[in-house]
Structure 1
Amino acid sequence: MSNSNNPPGAAVATADASVSTPVLAFEDREFTLAEVDAMAAGLAATLAQAGVGAGDRVALMSSNRPEFVVAVRAIWRLGAAVVLISPAWKRDEVAHALAVTAPVYAVGDSPVLGELAPMLHLDDPVAPGTGSHPEPDPAGEAVLVFSSGTTGMPKAVRHTHASFAAAVAHWKAALDLTGADRMQIVTPPSHILGLLNIATALDCGAWIRLHRRFDLDAMLHHIQADRITVEMAVAPIALAIASHPDLESYDLSSLRYIMWGATPVTPSVAERVTARTGVGWMPAYGASELPVIACNPIDGARLDSVGKPVPGVEVRITSLDTGEPVGNGEVGEIQTRSASLMAGYLPEDATTGAFVDGWYRTGDVGYLDADGWLRITDRLKEMIKVKGFQVAPAEIEAVLHGHPDVADCAVFGEPDPISGEAVVAAVLTANPVTAQALTEYVGERLATYKRLARVVFVSEIPRLPSGKVLRRELKERHGRTSDE
């Protein structure tokens, strides 16, 4: 970045040519950096007239469109913070987000947001503006993004201009991203990964296509037509690519790699895509609280690890029993610290317990091997305790994904009077298969205490846009209580 104190994504590549070169595409239109900045300057002036200033918060609830990018940059020009609200959220969820963050104004295209807060609609015409803007306070808030909300109501994760700029720098280095790269965004940019991809691409002058919504054929078509060099895929997208019947008909040769994030890689799915396309994967690991934690190298990536901690991020493993640091090869909670770490949560009391001596508790379970490769086994809160043994749902899911008749699956625990908890698999089938056959399949490959107690066949696996399984929702729909 040319100036680490600039708003993330505002200190774009310094070459003069980048100002007049297209950097953003949407449907059949392209925008240069000069056009984006002019629109951002105009919107910033409109927001300033509405009373928005440095240190304020502005809610943004938008569908995938260029105006999302413009709005973020406009808010940052004012030294204000953008509160990202998912366009998929319903009224109660939006009301919760507004109550937690208390924004002074709102921008978006959602009628729900417009009913709950004074809002500038993204369809309203705004005249382009000009002029420079002061650098924001590095310690001031830049973005508030909501946690995944797999348990309880979502918390707002607070990033400063300095912490998010550090995350952009880490991501740029991890991806080896340059102005020659071409990317596309098919997932909601209101998620931390979507925003990080946009900010990083603009920071280094890369070209980026924003899609209105996810459509697998459109994504594959544009890899071929736009000569995309870096593709992002969370678990549902990876599954969809692997099972596409006409995948070989697309020319994906421009891709340097596909990045797999948000959840641990399912090797059988990744290998199936590589076998059909010749394109390799680059696993990476991050969180809303610390956007870039670890990443595989571009050359020599491996599917059994999320990579090594990126330069500038420290990782340690602590005992699940004592909380004390453990050695290489020992499984425990993954803890991190970095300049890119969040400032805290809202509500503020949610921050209690999130840190230990300056280290952020990720809630993920895993280990570092002797060479520094990090492996994630599961979420601490999702571990299933069977007869005193810790069972990782992700391990069993990886096995089930290898079965030819399984399209998708998720594993959770339920109370059991003998074992403490029992292992249950929710399975979406690609072809007819029996519960007994799946139980035997897992039993042949994993230890006895990891054996499936029950299989439930479902019509869908509920997931967040990031790909994370909503296990709580599965338990509510298909789990049994201790009284049953």
Structure 2
Amino acid sequence: MVNSHTRDGAGIGYRAPDEEEEATEPTVLVFEAREYSLSELDALADGLAAEMAGRGVKAGDRVALMSSNRPEFVVAVRAIWRLGAAVVLISPAYKHDEVAHALALTNPTLAVGDSPVLAELLPMLSLDDPVDPAQCSFPPPDPAAEAVLVFSSGTTGMPKAVRHTHASFGAAVGQWCDALQLSSTDRMQVLTPPSHILGVLNIMTALEVGAWVRLHRRFDVDRMLRHIETDRITVEMAVAPIALAIAQHPDLESFDLSSLRYIMWGATPVTPSVAETVTRRAGVGWVPAYGASELPVIACNPIEGARLDSVGRPVAGVSIRVVSLETGEPLGVGEPGEIQARANSLMAGYLPEETNAEAFVDGWYRTGDVGYLDEDGWLLLTDRSKEMIKVKGFQVAPAEIEAVLHGHPGVVDCAVFGVPDPVSGEAVIAAVARTGTTEAEELITLVGDRLASYKRPSRVVFVSDIPRLPSGKVLRRELKERYGRTSDK
């Protein structure tokens, strides 16, 4: 085992294990050349928790965490939970205004991370500073208390905070473990940001079952494939861009992927041609799954006999119904409507609280997705009733981008919409009515400077006017029909 106890600015370290521990305790987390056992992670979490407690963090508080992919992220989450506090996960891609909004919405007591943006806005414990491992005793957290807050954009434009309790997130971990049939013999790797619900769910589920996990700084398809081969990865997690990168890799056949039991496809609907290409070239099958920040695990395919046209059946503990988009009445088999779900893994609610009214109906969570259940209980998605754009698994609110564009003096009116994209799931398109000679690149750069990179429009189309109803509501479907082809200029 590599001794990663450091005091040279490389980040949180751990105590050196004695020979007996080193011989008996398995590694559960690997990052580059550093390896951690569960007891080493626990000792680091205890030490960081003690330091946060010394700064006034107590049960019921919230702590903001904005971190790149690194093992210190895992330590920080577990340390915050040690204190009975809730972790507010802020994407490392967020810019100043987005971080400021997240902090104002959640009002955290302290910040932890490696982001200079976060440090400007709130006193921050740096993950680059070493922490002395400790062995402390903490009371178990209240199951009904907040555990984790992640951000999910709403139709109002600014991101909402999704609140999960220890009970609801713990239930999601159990459902994910059961659905994917994970055990201590599995070996996984995490390449996506852990601040996303899927990233933190994958990490915490793996630790719960004692699986082996390699955490990467960032996604790189060559590195991912090489580590599947050398680490003998058994379960790979993929979103649409990762799946496409695998399918298009020119030397895919040169990698030994025989250790994989399956690749899980989540966050966006499966593109059958991409999945089938990987299976044909590499001999690896797929397990499509479906969830949301609000309800992390809704449906999943069986490990054996998965279908690419369906996200699977509802997992144990989750109930699904399909209701009419017009009347809200439950529909029968094969009838498409809005998908609604309820479970003990459902979020406790949103912040701001006034946004909760539209999210629930009679205790059912409104997913905003349209689909149907077939006669055998398989769930098939067909559309989205909400206006959200889903880019690389992240929800993007058109109104948030429109607010930035409206701030440009050359923009008279604008509307943002999404179109299918084989790489990102959806691409962001901005229709703009302008004055003068405002250029598309200027507007794209403006959004990129103000918002996370995945919210930046891939294309701007200039129009004479934005089609709207008398109420002022944008006719986005009309814009999609007129300008939705990605080849349009």
**TM-score, normalising length: structure 2:** 0.78
In the other structure, the counterpart of 1:207 is 212
CA contact (8 A) 1:318 1:333 kept: yes
In the other structure, the counterpart of 2:303 is 298
1:95 and 2:80 equivalent? no
In the other structure, the counterpart of 2:39 is 34
In the other structure, the counterpart of 2:476 is none
TM-aligned CA deviation for residue 133 of structure 1 = 1.7
TM-aligned CA deviation for residue 29 of structure 1 = 1.3
TM-aligned CA deviation for residue 132 of structure 1 = 2.7
Q: 1:80 aligns with which of 82, 85, 90?
A: 85
For structure 1, the residue ranges without an aligned partner over 5 or more in a row are 1-15, 385-392, 402-406, 416-457
CA contact (8 A) 1:61 1:113 kept: yes
**CA–CA separation in structure 1 for the residues paired with 2:427 and 2:107:** 37
1:168 and 2:173 equivalent? yes
In the other structure, the counterpart of 2:237 is 232
**CA–CA separation in structure 2 for the residues paired with 1:342 and 1:111:** 30
TM-aligned CA deviation for residue 349 of structure 1 = 0.8
Q: Provide closer, same or farther for how the CA distance between residues 223 and 328 of structure 1 changes in structure 2, counting only shifts above 3 A.
A: same
CA contact (8 A) 1:64 1:211 kept: yes
Q: Provide closer, same or farther for how the CA distance between residues 89 and 267 of structure 1 changes in structure 2, counting only shifts above 3 A.
A: same
Q: 2:289 aligns with which of 279, 284, 288?
A: 284
Which 4+ residue blocks in structure 1 deviate beyond 6 angstroms?
A: 16-19, 411-415
Q: Provide closer, same or farther for how the CA distance between residues 129 and 381 of structure 1 changes in structure 2, counting only shifts above 3 A.
A: same
Q: Provide closer, same or farther for how the CA distance between residues 478 and 61 of structure 1 changes in structure 2, counting only shifts above 3 A.
A: farther
1:84-135 deviation per Cα after TM superposition (whole angstroms, max 9, x unaligned): 0000100000000000000000100000100100110011121001033211
The equivalences for 1:408-423 within 5 A come to 410=426
In the other structure, the counterpart of 1:366 is 371
SS class of match (2:172): helix
**CA–CA separation in structure 1 for the residues paired with 2:77 and 2:24:** 18
**CA–CA separation in structure 2 for the residues paired with 1:144 and 1:243:** 35
**CA–CA separation in structure 1 for the residues paired with 2:378 and 2:315:** 11
1:6-35 deviation per Cα after TM superposition (whole angstroms, max 9, x unaligned): xxxxxxxxxx99982100000011111111
CA contact (8 A) 1:141 1:161 kept: yes
In the other structure, the counterpart of 1:481 is 466
CA contact (8 A) 1:19 1:34 kept: no
1:360-417 deviation per Cα after TM superposition (whole angstroms, max 9, x unaligned): 0000111100100001112112499xxxxxxxx99x94xx86xxxxx777479999xx
CA contact (8 A) 2:189 2:236 kept: yes
Q: Provide closer, same or farther for how the CA distance between residues 151 and 248 of structure 1 changes in structure 2, counting only shifts above 3 A.
A: farther
**CA–CA separation in structure 2 for the residues paired with 1:193 and 1:409:** 16
**CA–CA separation in structure 2 for the residues paired with 1:224 and 1:199:** 24
In the other structure, the counterpart of 2:143 is 138
CA contact (8 A) 2:160 2:352 kept: yes
CA contact (8 A) 1:382 1:412 kept: no
TM-aligned CA deviation for residue 148 of structure 1 = 4.7
SS class of match (1:106): strand
The equivalences for 1:327-476 within 5 A come to 327-382=332-387, 397=420, 410=426, 473=457
1:120 and 2:105 equivalent? no
TM-aligned CA deviation for residue 475 of structure 1 = 7.7
Q: Provide closer, same or farther for how the CA distance between residues 478 and 58 of structure 1 changes in structure 2, counting only shifts above 3 A.
A: farther
Identity %: 70
1:274 and 2:279 equivalent? yes
In the other structure, the counterpart of 2:400 is none
In the other structure, the counterpart of 2:434 is none
SS class of match (1:367): strand
1:47 and 2:52 equivalent? yes
**CA–CA separation in structure 2 for the residues paired with 1:117 and 1:86:** 16
**CA–CA separation in structure 2 for the residues paired with 1:414 and 1:55:** 41
**CA–CA separation in structure 2 for the residues paired with 1:339 and 1:129:** 34
TM-aligned CA deviation for residue 481 of structure 1 = 2.5
**CA–CA separation in structure 2 for the residues paired with 1:476 and 1:267:** 29
Q: Provide closer, same or farther for how the CA distance between residues 117 and 217 of structure 1 changes in structure 2, counting only shifts above 3 A.
A: same
Alignment coverage as a number of residue pairs:
403
The residue type paired with residue 141 of structure 1 is E
The equivalences for 1:187-202 within 5 A come to 187-202=192-207
The residue type paired with residue 327 of structure 2 is T
In the other structure, the counterpart of 2:26 is 21
TM-aligned CA deviation for residue 153 of structure 1 = 1.1
SS class of match (1:362): strand
**CA–CA separation in structure 2 for the residues paired with 1:18 and 1:293:** 40
SS class of match (2:163): strand
1:405-432 deviation per Cα after TM superposition (whole angstroms, max 9, x unaligned): xx777479999xxxxxxxxxxxxxxxxx
CA contact (8 A) 1:19 1:33 kept: no
Q: Provide closer, same or farther for how the CA distance between residues 352 and 275 of structure 1 changes in structure 2, counting only shifts above 3 A.
A: same
The residue type paired with residue 467 of structure 2 is S
The equivalences for 1:59-70 within 5 A come to 59-70=64-75
CA contact (8 A) 1:364 1:376 kept: yes
For structure 2, the residue ranges without an aligned partner over 5 or more in a row are 1-20, 390-416, 432-443, 469-478, 480-489
The residue type paired with residue 374 of structure 2 is D
RMSD (CA atoms): 2.8
1:262 and 2:271 equivalent? no
SS class of match (2:260): coil
CA contact (8 A) 2:155 2:387 kept: no
SS class of match (2:263): strand
1:199-245 deviation per Cα after TM superposition (whole angstroms, max 9, x unaligned): 10000000000001111111111100100000000011111111111
Q: Provide closer, same or farther for how the CA distance between residues 46 and 413 of structure 1 changes in structure 2, counting only shifts above 3 A.
A: closer
The residue type paired with residue 185 of structure 2 is A
Q: Provide closer, same or farther for how the CA distance between residues 210 and 95 of structure 1 changes in structure 2, counting only shifts above 3 A.
A: same
Farther off after superposition, 58-67 or 472-481? 472-481
CA contact (8 A) 2:81 2:147 kept: yes
The residue type paired with residue 359 of structure 1 is W
**CA–CA separation in structure 2 for the residues paired with 1:121 and 1:57:** 17
**CA–CA separation in structure 2 for the residues paired with 1:196 and 1:72:** 12
The residue type paired with residue 313 of structure 2 is K
**CA–CA separation in structure 2 for the residues paired with 1:216 and 1:243:** 10
In the other structure, the counterpart of 1:252 is 257
